[in-house]
Amino acid sequence: MTKAASNLVLAFLLLLAALFVPLQAGAQGVGRSGSSIVDEQRTVIGGLTSRTDGLEKDINASLEEDAKLVEIRLQLEEIARDLISSSVSFRPRLGEINARIEQLGPPPAQGAAPESDTVAAERQSLTAEKAEINAALGAAEDLSIRVNTLIIRVTDMRRDLFSRLLTRRYEIDFPLLSEVVGAFHETTTSLYRSISAWGRFVVNFKLSSVLAATFFALIAAAVLLIGGRRMFGHLFEADPDRTDPTYLSRLSVAFWSTLLPSLALGVFLGVTFSLFDYFQVLRGDIGSMLASLFGVIGLVFFVHRLGKAVLSPDLPHWRLIPVQSGAAAKLLWIMSATALFSGLDFLLSNIYETLDAPVALTVGEALVATVIIGILVMASGLVRPFADEEGRPRSWPAAVRLFIYALGLMTIVAALLGYIGLARFISQQIVWTGAVLATMYIGFLSSRAVSEEGAFAGTTIGARFQRWFKLDDAGLDQLSLLVSILINVAVVVVGLPLVLFQWGFQPADIASWMYKIATGIQIGSFTLSLTGILWGLLVFGAGFVLTRWFQGWLDGSVMARGRVDTGVRNSIRTVVGYAGLAIAGLVGLSAAGIDFSNLALIAGGLSLGIGFGLQNVVSNFVSGLILLAERPFKAGDWVVAGSVSGTVKKISVRATEIETFQRQSVILPNSELINGAVGNWTHRNKLGRIEIPVAVAYGTDARKVHALLLELASGHPLVLKNPEPFVAFTAFAQTSMNFEIRVFLGDINNGGIVQNDLRFAILDAFDRENISIAIPAQSPVDLSKPKWSTDDDRAEAELAATVERRAQAEEEVKARKPRRRKADPV
């Protein structure tokens, strides 16, 4: 044996060994799989139990920290999901154990012959393993109950914390005032020292980092602001020279002129803070205070820009609400001042909390801020923004004015009574929630205006889209619907979390809701999963595209090269399309996580509906399948169905489209084509016969006419020689001798052309041979309108006499004509 051969044999043996070892290990693992699963899941459940113990301790230590409680609840929900996964992992092994025990059968009864030691040992092993799994499942269930109890406890604690925040009362008296004055002086001194120390630290050690961070933040904001303006032109700025802007233009300018500069400022502040933190410029206390300051600056700027965009005190033509210019300026000043005092309240509260200032200082500061905000709110109700028919100032509607007064008075009264938390909550919702809701409302109005027919074409961005993508007006209107949907989605995705944040919800709350929506919402026994739905739609879309591609490839490459008949190609393409869509739909539903066993009730209801109201639909569907299978006619055939005659254009599973020779599309239900008589001129081939009737006057040589017509028919190039043309002498009519030319054509669709050619040829030949075409005898028609007599009986008698005289005249004419002997029947 050569060395190469020996090496090949050695390699082959090594390959067999490599394959055998995993198989042997797998075979050995079968016996150990149960115990390994139990040990593994016991370890998992033990770890989850330890985590739960730690989180329970954290709950007791976080009674006053809402954000911490939210984080704990999220971790508890994660543990609950892990417990479900751990319990589900036992199902396969439990199924195997139960199936094997069922195969072994029940143990022998007392007094019966004992079973073999092998079977008894296996039964005992399986029973013990099943008991271990049941014990592990019991531990997981107990821990799950405990975790759910802790989740409910956290929710109750958060609700109680929010209630205590709003209902807690402080004593408002003179001792509080003196305590506030002393605490203010001490806290101000501490704040000055902190800022001074941080400033010296920055100048001495971090000045280059601060300048670099600020520079990069400016670059980021400039890119967003300048790039947006260059891309969308004047969409974000009101044109002062334009005196008649459309409502859509005003809405768009108001919305985007608020959002884009606010986003640019937010990017600048956010990048600045992030880079400060990255370069280790911030200390703990300075970082917290700077974050609060940046947030207040951004929110106050946002409210000011929003008020300026909506009220537009300098450009009345771009104003969204019909208020007077003076009132618009006052309302803008009130909105900005309210936002400023609310922001200062938030900033000072965070500063005092960071510096561990006395609670009295926070209470006093919040008291002053909330009272000022309440006064500003009531002042907005005193403004007279509208004008009556004579141009005099007019106040808000009574209901709106009373609501504004009640809101401001409630804030002031709650603050003066010592309910500082409630007063601060109301003032914050007035400013921040009101600003966000107003922006969302403008966004929804913009979306609705964009979706109106023809409106998007009048906008700057619509004209650019039309130019970039070369769209017609219909395509641009369809695009406007998509833009409208995207605007609505963007408004909800951005605005709703901001509103929820103002009402006390934490980011972790929203993250938890989004996870539940994405992974599944339990509705009875049905689980609705956004991720599953999106995945199912993606799978169905892929199946739809694959089906269309396969249809095109099969029709254009396979059947076209095989010279397959057009009707056959259409039938095969239709069947493949419906089959592909059905498979794509089933696979998509499975990918979406829909259990078809849950659809049994729906199927039963559908069957009942078919029995009553959907029987015609099902009948047409089944008839369509029969037509596609049997193919009594196909696309391109000339058919006659009742009073409809035309060419078959398309056969679907519900109806068949027939195009008449007048180019009218007739949609016939398939059941009518199956149950009724249908004539097909081109069923097996296009061979067909046409007839041309000809009538000549009496006195003409009939044999000459017969020979002449036969010669004309035989001489046409489209007339077949076999079967040969035939001319029939069909009848002796009252005033004519009737002949009929009968010719066969290779393509019956050319029948009109042949008939037209032969009629012209007949006219020319008859004119040449002096043969007269008979004209049917007609009675003369009196077209004059008789005057109706006032005497109805007399007029009726005269009319009857006239009719009788005409009948007698016609009988006399017939009697004078020579009689001809009738020919014997052939």
Residue-wise pLDDT for 667-720, tens only, equals: 888 887 887 788 888 777 788 889 999 999 888 889 999 999 999 999 899 998
Go through the chain and tell me how many residues it has.
Answer: 826
pLDDT band at 728 (very low <50, low <70, confident <90, very high): very high
For the four alpha carbons of 587, 591, 596 and 601, in that order, the dihedral sign comes to: negative
Per DSSP bridges, beta strands 521-523 and 726-732 are: unpaired
Top pLDDT among 101 and 265 is at: 265
Q: Please compute the mean of the pLDDT values over residues 156-174 and round it to a whole number.
A: 73
pLDDT band at 360 (very low <50, low <70, confident <90, very high): confident
At 115-139, the pLDDT tens digits run: 777 877 888 888 888 888 888 888 8
Q: Are 338 and 373 in contact (CB under 8 A)?
A: yes
Residue 309 has pLDDT above 70, yes or no: yes
Residue 11 has pLDDT above 80, yes or no: no
b/e sequence 341-374, b meaning 16+ C-beta within 10 Å: bbbbbbbbbbbbebbebbebbbbbbbbbbbbbbb
What are the distances in angstroms from CA 755 to CA 143, 687, 690, 702? 93, 15, 8, 21
Q: Report the alpha-carbon distance of residue 333 to residue 397 in Å, rounded.
A: 21
Q: Which residues contact 668 (CB under 8 A, 6 or more apart)?
A: 641, 644, 655, 656, 658
Tokens of 676: 């009724």
Q: Report the alpha-carbon distance of residue 489 to residue 498 in Å, rounded.
A: 14
At 644-668, the pLDDT tens digits run: 888 888 887 778 888 888 888 888 8
pLDDT band at 809 (very low <50, low <70, confident <90, very high): low
Tokens of 258: 């608020």
The pLDDT mean for the chain works out to 78
β-bridge mates for residue 647, sequence order:
638, 659
Top pLDDT among 278 and 804 is at: 278
- Give residue 21's pLDDT: 38
Highest mean pLDDT among 266-275, 392-401, 429-438: 266-275
Residue 822 has pLDDT above 50, yes or no: no
Q: Report the alpha-carbon distance of residue 823 to residue 826 in Å, rounded.
A: 9
Top pLDDT among 806 and 783 is at: 806
Q: Report the alpha-carbon distance of residue 323 to residue 385 in Å, rounded.
A: 5
Q: Which residues contact 212 (CB under 8 A, 6 or more apart)?
A: 275, 279
- Give residue 818's pLDDT: 46
pLDDT band at 269 (very low <50, low <70, confident <90, very high): very high
Residue 249 has pLDDT above 60, yes or no: yes
Q: Please compute the mean of the pLDDT values over residues 288-295 and round it to a whole number.
A: 90
Q: CA angle at residue 745 from 743 to 748, to 5 degrees?
A: 115
Longest Cα separation, the chain: 144
DSSP string of 613-672? TSHHHHHHHHHHHHHHHH-SS-TT-EEEETTEEEEEEEE-SSEEEEEETTS-EEEEEHHH
What residue has token string 């007006």? 473
Residue 481 has pLDDT above 80, yes or no: yes
- Give residue 510's pLDDT: 65
Q: Report the alpha-carbon distance of residue 688 to residue 565 in Å, rounded.
A: 19
Q: Please compute the mean of the pLDDT values over residues 63-81 and round it to a whole number.
A: 78
φ, ψ at 112 (rounded to 5°):
-85, 170
Top pLDDT among 489 and 242 is at: 489
Q: Report the alpha-carbon distance of residue 231 to residue 425 in Å, rounded.
A: 40
- Give residue 22's pLDDT: 39
At 14-26, the pLDDT tens digits run: 433 443 333 333 3
Amino acid at 416: L
Residue 353 has pLDDT above 80, yes or no: yes
- Give residue 820's pLDDT: 42
Q: Which residues contact 120 (CB under 8 A, 6 or more apart)?
A: 114
Residue 791 has pLDDT above 60, yes or no: no
Q: Which residues contact 407 (CB under 8 A, 6 or more apart)?
A: 377, 426, 430
pTM value is: 0.54
At 491-533, the pLDDT tens digits run: 888 888 878 777 766 666 666 666 666 566 655 555 666 677 7
pLDDT band at 621 (very low <50, low <70, confident <90, very high): confident
Q: Are 69 and 150 in contact (CB under 8 A)?
A: no
Residue 1 has pLDDT above 60, yes or no: no
At 205-241, the pLDDT tens digits run: 888 988 999 999 999 888 888 877 776 555 567 777 7
- Give residue 488's pLDDT: 85
Task: Please report how the helices 117-167 and 66-88 are oriented relative to each other, as an axis angle in degrees rounded to 10.
Answer: 160
Q: Report the alpha-carbon distance of residue 546 to residue 75 in Å, rounded.
A: 43
